[in-house]
Amino acid sequence: MSIDPPAKPVTTDENTQITIDGQQYNLSELSAEAQAQIRNIQEVDRKMVAAQNEIKSLQTWRMVHSHSLKVELETAS
């Protein structure tokens, strides 16, 4: 399931449109439960982006430490 726009928080503005799996919906016409589920999905999407950014950072630090270890081993030999 894809929800666009994924980054914007759900509002109940009468003009706010959201696209779910290619179908546009007026948010003010959706049930409170549907709006809550959309907010939940958007929160999970934000957390996934944060986790992906953390993984990228950790991968960078791993490369830095691997390079430092390689240099250390070469100078110790």
pLDDT the model gives residue 77: 80
Choose between 77 and 37: higher pLDDT.
Answer: 37
Domain count, the chain: 1
The residue with greater pLDDT, 10 or 60, is 60
Q: Grade residue 70 by pLDDT with cuts at 50, 70 and 90.
A: very high
pLDDT single digits (tens) 28-66? 999 999 999 999 999 999 999 999 999 999 999 999 999
Domain extent, residue 13, equals 3-76
Q: What is the pTM of this model?
A: 0.71
Helices (H), the chain: 32-76
Q: Quick one: how far is CA 59 from the chain centroid?
A: 18
DSSP letter at 69? H
Backbone angles phi, psi at 60, to 5 degrees: -65, -45
